[in-house]
Structure 1
Amino acid sequence: MNGIAFDRVSFAYTGRPVLDDVSFDLPEGEFCLLVGPTGAGKSTLLKTVNGLVPHFTGGTISGRITVAGREVHGSTPADLADLVGYVGQEPLAGFVTDEVERELAYTAEQLGVDPAAMRKRVTEIVDLLGLADVRDRDLAALSSGQRQRVAIGAALVAGPAALVLDEPTSALDPTAADEVLSALHRLVHDLGVTVFLAEHRLERVAQYADSALLLNSGKVTAGPVGEVLAVSPVAPPVVDLGRLAGWPGPPVTIREARRHAAGLRETLAGLVPASVVETPTGPPLLEARGVTVDYPGGVRAVNGTDLVAGRGERIALMGRNGSGKSSLLWALQGTGRRSGGTVAIAGTDPATRKPAERRTLAGLVPAEPADLLYAETVAAECEGADRDGRAPNGTCAKILADLVEGVAAQAHPRDLSEGQRLALALAVTLTAAPPLLLLDEPTRGLDYPGKAALANRLGRLAEAGHCVVVSTHDVEFGADFASRVVILSDGEVVADGPARQILSASPMFSPQVEKVLPGWLTVAEVAAALGNGTGDDKDD
């Protein structure tokens, strides 16, 4: 067996079982997609392949794992570095150097690869992953998507037999994600590398995978991609559309769905999707004019951008990696760099105010919500937010309870699920009651039900009078959440208008349903039009 084999593997943290008698075989050169709800243990399963679990996490493991015939038990991640390449969810946390080319060469150096062979290998990886234009740059100066590609490249330099990746496209725009997945596909077919990959954005990956594993409640279901997704509690929109329409399979790719869609198109002919939200009228809450953001080294991230928005708007800020989305959000909030232009929120420039007052104008939830969380318990976080926001005691805890149920007051924020941690960071931000709410890539780590619940929560905030601006690469979330879409390119606004109009006109940012049924953005819209009554049923 030259691939990855699990034989009756069980694993538990102290008092908390994660894997329960798991057995499966991945042949050499297999591209396998690992799916499952948020918190099912997908990251834990992946980390057992190279020994990160239990060597660095603790816990108790039993059973047998082999990779290319070599036993994993008793080996450390360093022992397996030439055999298993691993890319985690946080690339920056795994880097050991400060420059792109040095990072790519580091693993090869540690394995004693000949310098000439190492240079050749690094150059091949740079070309494979499209890193030529950043190979001499500092890692800290890269966008999150560029860092993700560097991390994948660093794992590939050693020439491993198996490549294990945990949400490798979560920080990538759709085009960059396709480039990375295409590169992985070539590794599988040309070099026989076994790729084992977990991803929440299944619409991106399903077409590339040879097989799938569903992990749920500690158990694994293995099989062809279509069969696994048909029984999975989490599935991409095209699969849900197939289930709704009763298509056989159901289809897992756009091409397959189109072959079944003629009858549904005829049924929907003459029907009009319900409008997401009408653009509110009234005086603008946010007025940003000519905003420019420059960084050292002559890098201009935002180039004279205008953005005017009113209360009640739901705006998805989209664009390729490095287009300036995060820089614009921080400039709008007032904490980030702003080299030129003006920003006014309710007539006040947030950059001229102290941090405490700034938070009452604009709240920003960063791409890593944990960056806002410092206390040892959820209760302490909420109490601190009440003090900082000068809000009555219990305000933050009440907001959190409204956003999500079941968060224990004495739990450590780092022990929460991705969705719970995001809800806590959002509650902390909302405690100061800012009229402008800014979120940077909030759907990372969330499954489809979690994203639907987030869209619903943000929609309620907009209805309550907040202006919500979300930077996102997730086109499916944008279709579900936004009433308006603004697309950036090279720091400039290149498209701005109603979500349906902008998303339908862009092949890069079109959701799956629109590609199958032009003019329709979500499965919920189709269900509502067919009279199934599910158009607005989004559970928290």
Structure 2
Amino acid sequence: MIEFDRVTVTYAGAAAPAIRDVTLAVGEGELCLVAGHTGTGKSTLLRAVNGLVPHFTGGTLAGRVTVDGRDTRTHPPRELADVVGYVGQDPLHGFVTDTVEEELAYGLEQLAVPGPAMRKRVEETLDLLGIAELRHRPLRTLSGGQQQRVAIGAVLTAHPRVVVLDEPTSALDPTAAEDVLAAITRLVHDLGITVLVAEHRLERVAHYADRLLYLPGDGTVTDGSPADVLARAAIEPPIVEPGRLAGWHPLPLSVRDARRLAAPLRGRLAGREPPARGAGAGGAAVALPAEGVVVRYGRQIAVAGVGLALRPGVVVALMGRNGSGKSSLLWALQGSGPRHHGTVTTGGADPATLTPAEARRRVGLVPQTPADLLYLDTVDAECAAADREAGAEEGACRSLLDRLTTGIPGERHPRDLSDGQRLALVLAVQLVAAPPVLLLDEPTRGLDYAAKHRFAAIVRGLAGRGTAVVVATHDVELVAALADRVVVMAQGEIVADGPTADIVIASPTFAPQVAKILHPQPWLTVADVAEALR
């Protein structure tokens, strides 16, 4: 179905090819997982399948890519649209209509699908992805995760023979991610659709995949079974880390398989306790108290009378399904978003009454679409401006960026970075200011495991210096490693609030994979397990 024949892609001004001398074939009805660190060429590989590389992105493609017998050199993306469906990392960039139902039907209209068949396919897709209640919603009012499901649905309605997904679960809550992956798996098994998925959260996808394409960063691609490739790859998903620690072979790729092997490990851990999490700055005053916060969009209530107290040195994870009100709450706390009722105070003032610059100095916010905060022509210019605005030493922002991810040229335009690299740049820009309260909305979307570990270390360092941090995330592994406290929202209200272990271990939705593997013992991370065994 898909064939790469000695394919090399080189972008203008690049020191080395993004992918080099790649030869592989993906058959009909295969689910192929693409993995590698941020910036190793995963998106380039995927975009070559439907001709976006080089017809849209530019650069030079040597070799040949064929899809269902069509050569992408002579068939631009529009001539592959009936065969290949592509969903990029940012769904907003792909939307062309105003409402969910219109977006699902748009591609069918372009393919001249008859009206009755169009209606049937739209209804089937709404049910398949669990978004029927969103059919009349304007796309701009959806949460990031809801937008991602709509983008996937807009591709599936066309019934393509190949589906290419770039980070499809990065903005989805755990339940929604499982639903989407289960739907994709049904398409593979029942209809013989070929699926290529690039994903950093391998623990969500690895057990579904037939094959794994691993990009180590030198332009080459390693092709093999997921267990074989992960056994020697320089990436460690949470499902694999315990196996490497305990010496399991072959490495398990699902919680069920891991639990079958975990009895000896649980025996070694019997009678031991995980280390206690930090409690922040003891009896310090609340850094940001919020009471009765209400946010509405027309008739829809996004935040319904929420009260929250953020304390210095405490990292709070804000969790909940897509559309539960997390992002709306963060914007209301920062002062830039709407707030119809309630009070928010920081440093003796309501941030909504301050100038934008003063509000940012008191409450920093990294939004779900971090590129909105970038406005200069080069990475170096963004870093220099961040240093000046924060009153930091020259080079401080660049140093933070290099801790998050390496190899980003200073002269590169921020819009030319991968989504993960762009997010790392925005995180560095915001973190260098070190405001007393820091709000992060899906901050690890698009980051690989190594970058997430470095990000967590930076945030823990800020908390250690007294910063109050809120991280709105669906990444349960990040929460297990980083958060002192977890707040769970549903339908605009807080439904759970407490220490991380108390909230996540007993939850089938929010428990990290180590907790599931070692249940009923109260372990959250492999690092805690390794320390106990030591």
TM-score normalised per structure 2: 0.95
Show the counterpart of 1:425: 426
Secondary structure, aligned partner of 2:125: helix
Return closer, same or farther for 1:271/1:442 CA change in 2, 3 Å cut-off.
same
SS at match of 2:240: helix
CA-to-aligned-CA distance 1:347-391 (integer Å, 9 cap, x gap): 321111111211121010112222111111234324433554466
Alignment of 1:223-242 (within 5 A): 223-242=224-243
State the match for 2:211 in structure 1: 211
Query: Pairwise mapping of residues 12-23 of structure 1 onto structure 2 (< 5 A)?
Result: 12-14=10-12, 15=14, 16-23=16-23
What corresponds to 2:293 in structure 1? 291
Q: Which amino acid aligns with 1:114?
A: P
Deviates more, 1:421-430 or 1:403-412: 403-412
Structure 2 letter corresponding to 1:413: P
In structure 1, the residue corresponding to 2:375 is in which secondary structure? coil
Q: Secondary structure at the match of 1:33?
A: strand
* CA shift for structure 1 position 398: 6.3
8 Å Cα contact 2:280/2:466 also seen in 1: no
Contact 2:100/2:135 (8 A) holds in 1 = yes
Deviation at 1:426, TM superposition (A): 3.1
Structure 1 residue 21: deviation in Å? 1.3
Asked if 1:93 corresponds to 2:96, the answer is no
Measured after TM superposition, the shift of residue 495 of structure 1 is 0.8
Pair 1:301–1:384, CA change in 2 (3 A): same
In the alignment, what sits opposite 2:435? 434
Does the residue aligned with 1:126 lie in a helix, a strand or coil?
helix
Please say if residues 356 and 388 of structure 1, whose CA atoms lie closer than 8 Å, have aligned partners that are also in contact.
no
**Cα offset, 1:409, TM superposition:** 4.4
**Equivalent residue in structure 2 for 1:524, among 524, 527, 530:** 527
Contact 1:33 1:206 in 2 (8 A): yes
SS at match of 1:376: coil
Q: Distance in 1 between matches of 2:517 and 2:446?
A: 26
How far, CA to CA, are the matches of 1:463 and 1:516 in structure 2?
A: 30
- Asked if 1 retains the 8 angstrom alpha-carbon contact of 2:89 and 2:419, the reply is no
User: Does the C-alpha gap of structure 1 residues 390 and 524 become closer, same or farther in structure 2, counting only changes over 3 Å?
Assistant: closer
Structure 2 partner of 1:357:
358
- Aligned residue number for residue 11 of structure 1: 9
Query: Which moves more between the two structures, 31-40 or 366-375?
Result: 366-375
Q: Partners in 2 of 1:402 and 1:157 — Cα distance?
A: 42
Deviation string, structure 1 residues 374-433 (Cα, Å, up to 9, x no partner):
111234324433554466766655665676666554443334455553343234334544
| Counterpart Cα distance in 1 of 2:401 and 2:263 | 45
The alignment covers a number of residue pairs equal to: 528
Q: Matches of 2:396 and 2:454 in 1, distance apart? A: 21
1:447-490 CA distance string (max 9 Å, x none):
11110110000000000111111110100111111111111111
Asked if residue 191 in structure 1 is aligned to residue 194 in structure 2, the reply is: no
For the residue of structure 1 that corresponds to 2:37, the secondary structure is: coil
Q: Secondary structure of the residue that 1:107 maps to in structure 2?
A: helix
Aligned 1:314-463 pairs, distance under 5 A = 314-389=315-390, 396=397, 408-416=409-417, 418=419, 420-463=421-464
Code of the aligned partner of 1:199? E
* CA shift for structure 1 position 306: 0.9
Asked whether 1:200 is paired with 2:200, we answer: yes
Letter in 2 for 1:49: V
C-alpha root-mean-square deviation of aligned residues, in Å? 1.8
In structure 2, C-alpha distance between the alignment counterparts of 1:165 and 1:404, rounded to whole Å: 23
Q: CA deviation at 1:55?
A: 0.2
Q: Which residue pairs with 1:534 in the alignment?
A: none
- Judging changes above 3 Å, is the alpha-carbon distance between structure 1 residues 149 and 418 closer, same or farther for their aligned structure 2 residues? closer
User: Does 2:148 correspond to 1:148?
Assistant: yes
Aligned CA distance change for structure 1 residues 396 and 84 (closer, same or farther; 3 Å): closer
Distance 1:439 1:526, change over 3 A: same
CA contact (8 A) 2:362 2:435 kept: yes
Other-structure match for 2:306: 305
Unaligned runs of 5+ in 1: 532-540
Q: Distance in 1 between matches of 2:258 and 2:359?
A: 48
Question: 3-state DSSP class of the match of 2:423?
Answer: helix
CA contact under 8 A between 2:52 and 2:76: conserved in structure 1?
A: yes
Q: Residue type of the partner of 1:311? A: P
Q: Which residue of 1 aligns with 2:138?
A: 138
* Change beyond 3 A, Cα 1:115–1:508: same
**1:118 positional shift:** 1.1
For residue 526 of structure 1, what is the amino acid of its counterpart?
V
Distance 1:404 1:57 in 2: 23
Q: Distance in 2 between the 1:191 and 1:501 partners?
A: 42
CA distance, structure 2, for counterparts of residue 124 and residue 401 of structure 1: 46
1:72: which partner in 2? 72
Shift of 1:215: 1.6
Contact 1:366 1:439 (C-alpha < 8 Å) held by counterparts:
yes
The TM-score normalised by the length of structure 1 is 0.94
Secondary structure at 2:234 match in 1: coil
- Structure 2 matches for 1:156-195, cutoff 5 A? 156-195=156-195
Q: Distance in 2 between matches of 1:190 and 1:158?
A: 16
C-alpha distance in 2 between matches for 1:439 and 1:294: 21
Query: Could you tell me whether the CA contact under 8 Å between 2:34 and 2:197 is conserved in 1?
Result: yes
Which moved further from structure 2: 457-466 or 66-75? 66-75
Summarize deviations over 1:38-81 as a string: whole Å, max 9, x none.
11100000000000000001111122222223332310110000
Q: Which runs of 5+ in 2 are unaligned?
A: none
Partner-residue secondary structure (3-state), 1:184 = helix
The one-letter code sitting in structure 1 at the alignment partner of 2:422 is: R
CA contact (8 A) 1:38 1:446 kept: yes
In the superposition, relative to structure 1, how do residues 246 and 54 fare at CA in structure 2: closer, same or farther (>3 Å)? same
- Aligned positions of 1:486-505 closer than 5 A: 486-505=487-506
Q: Is the 8 A contact 2:434 2:462 kept in 1?
A: no
Distance in 2 separating the partners of 1:408 and 1:529: 41
Q: 1:257 to 1:404 in 2, by over 3 A?
A: closer
Q: Which amino acid is the alignment partner of residue 285 of structure 1?
A: A
Distance, in Å, in 2 between the alignment partners of 1:132 and 1:402 is 42
